[in-house]
Chain A
Amino acid sequence: MARGSEPVIELHDVGVRYRVPKEAIASLKEYAIRKLQGRIEHGELRALKGINLTIHPGERVGVIGPNGAGKSSLFKVIARVRRPSEGRVVVRGAVAPLLELGLGFHGELTGRENVVLHGTLMGFSRRDMLKRMDRIAEFAELESFLDAPIRTYSTGMVTRLAFAVATDVDPEILLVDEALAVGDERFRAKCEERMASFRETGRTFLVVSHSLAEIRRACNRAIWILQGEAAMDGPAGEVCDAYHEWAQHG
C-alpha cells in the first residue's frame, strides 16, 4: 500500500469503560431530583483494558474470544463508533465496517434509492453511488428489480443487495463480521470469492469470528481477547491452537 510500512492501526494502552448507573434513571425529572439530593451513583464495566496493538498494511487479523470478552468493543474503537476511555487509537485510512448489512434500508424506497442512502451512511456522495450502481446491481443479480421498492424483495434479495453495496468499496481497512457470507450456496460462493479477492489485493483485514477454521483459513495473525485483555497475539495457527485448548479444558 502507498503508505509503506507505517502501521494502519495503532492502539496504545486502550481501555474502554462503560458507566453503568446503579439504577436506571431515564427521565429528566427524576435525574434533576436525584442530582439535587446528590444521589447519583455509577458502577463501572471495563470492556477493554490496556490493549496494545499494531497492525501493518496487508495483515489479516482474526479476533477470537468468548462472548463478552470485548471483541466488539475493540471493533467499535477502531471503527470510531466509540472513543476509548483511556489510551490512544490511531487509524490511517478509510475503514469499511462490514458488520451491519443493510443498515438504514427502508422498505418503501427502491433498491436504487436504498443503495444511495446506504452509501451516504458510509460517507460516500450520491454521485459516487450512482457510478457504482450498475456494478452493485450486477453483483447482486438484481438489475431488473432496482426500481422496485425493496419491501417487494424476498429476504434473499435484500441480503444480496446489502452485501453487494457493503463490499463494493475500496477501503484500506475492512472490519468483517463472521456471518457475512449470505444467500444460497451459489451466492455464498460468490461472497467468498469477493472476500478472497479483498485479501489478495493486500488490504488490511480484521475478522471477528467464532469459527477457528475460518480464522485459520483467512488470517495470518490472530488475537485472543479474554476479559478485556489481549491474552495472546501471534500467528493465527498458534493462537487458534491455544484458544482451542483453553476452550476445551477451561
Chain B
Amino acid sequence: MPAAPPVYDSARHDLRFVEEARDLWRYRHLVVELVRRDITVRYKRSVLGVGWTMLSPLLQMLTMTWVFSVVLRQDVRNYPVYFLSGLIFWQFFAQATGHAASLPVDALEMGKRIFLPQSAFVLSAVGVALVHTVLSVVPLLVIVVWTGSPIHVSWLFLPVALVIGAAFTTGVGLLVFTLASRFVDVKEMYIILLQLWFFVTPIVYATKLVPEEYRFVIRYNPATYLVDLFRAPLYNGWLPGPNTMAFAVLGSLASLIVGWIFYSQKMEEYGSRF
C-alpha cells in the first residue's frame, strides 16, 4: 500500500491548495505512468515512431519559411531560425494546454469511480508535451547549424527556459482544465483563443515591424517574454536580458499560483456535477 496508510477525515479543513498539493504528491507515480502511456500508445503502431515528432517541426518550418521569407519577404536575418526558435515554446504551450482542455471527459469518468487527484492528468499533459518538445529540439539544433549559425554556449540555458515555460503552461493548463470540466464549450473557445494569442505574440514576425502604437499588445503579453526566453539563446546566442527574465519568471509564478488556487477551489464542485 502507499506508505503510511492515510487517515481520511472529511471534516479536517486544511487549506484546499495545500491538501491538493499533498494528494498530487502521493500520486506522483501516476503522473509518470500517464505520460509513459501516452507516449507509448502514440508511437507503438506508427511506422516512423518518434520520427514524427522530429519531422513535424521540419515540415512546418519549410511552409512557414516559404510563406514569410519568400512570399511576404520579412526583413529578418536568418528567418528560419528566428521563427523556429520562437515556435518551440509556443508548440509546447499550445499542445499541453490544448490537451488539458480536452482531458476532462476521460479524467472525470475515472474520478467518478476511484479517488484520484485530477491535477495528475493536467501534469501528465504538460509532461507529454515536454517530452515532444525535447525531442523536437534535436532537429531544430540541426537546422540552426545547417543554416550557418555558430554553436552557442547559451544553448545550455534551454533547460532553465523549459522549466520556467513549463510552470507557466501548467498554470494555464490547470485553469483551462478546471473550466472545461464544467463547461463543454471551453475547449472550442480555448482553441480559438490560442489562434489569436499566437498572432499577438512575436513568433512569425519581429517586434520591430509592429507600429509603435500597437506594441503595448506585445508588451503586456506574458507569452512574448517566454518566447524570448528560447529565442535569445537559440537565435541571438546570448542569455535572455534581465527584463525578459523578470517578466517571464513573474508571469510563470503568477500563472502557476492562480491556476493552482482556482483548480483547488473549483475542481471538486465542477467535477462532481455528474
Contact = CB atoms under 8 A, between A and B. Distances in A.
B29 A120 contact: yes
Interface stretch (B33-41, B147-155, B230-238, B253-261): B33-41
Interface size class of B (residues with CB under 8 A): 35 or more
Interface string B34-77: 10110011001100000000000000000000000000000000
25 contacts: A27-B185, A28-B182, A79-B114, A79-B115, A80-B8, A81-B114, A81-B115, A83-B272, A89-B8, A89-B10, A89-B11, A94-B6, A106-B37, A108-B44, A109-B37, A109-B41, A113-B37, A120-B27, A121-B116, A123-B26, A126-B32, A149-B44, A169-B1, A171-B1, A171-B5
Interface of B: 1-2, 5-11, 26-27, 29-30, 32-34, 36-37, 40-41, 44-45, 110-116, 179, 182-186, 189, 268, 272-273
Nearest to A110: B40
Contacts of A94: 1-2, 5-6
A123 B10 contact: no
A41 interface: no
A219 B111 CA distance: 29
A114 B41 CA distance: 12
Contacts of B7: 90-93
List 8 tightest A-B contacts by C-beta distance, closest first. Answer: A28-B183, A88-B11, A80-B115, A120-B30, A89-B10, A27-B185, A123-B2, A94-B5
A126 B37 CA distance: 13
A170 interface: yes
Contacts, number: 112
Q: In terms of DSSP, what is the predominant structure of the interface of chain A?
A: loop
Contacts of A122: 114
A100 B30 CA distance: 17
Interface residues of A, number: 46
Contact of A104 (B6, B36, B110): B110
Interface in A98-129: 99-100, 103-104, 106, 108-109, 113, 116-117, 120-126
Contacts of B185: 26-29
A24 to B, nearest CB: 10
A106 B39 CA distance: 13
B2 A124 contact: yes
Contacts of B113: 81, 97, 99-100, 103
Interface in A23-53: 26-29, 31
A19 interface: yes
Contacts of B40: 108-109, 113
A207 to B, nearest CB: 17
A126 B11 CA distance: 32
A126 B113 CA distance: 21
Contacts of A125: 29
A103 B114 contact: yes
Contact of B33 (A19, A92, A97, A126): A126
A117 B183 CA distance: 29
A188 interface: no
A82 interface: yes
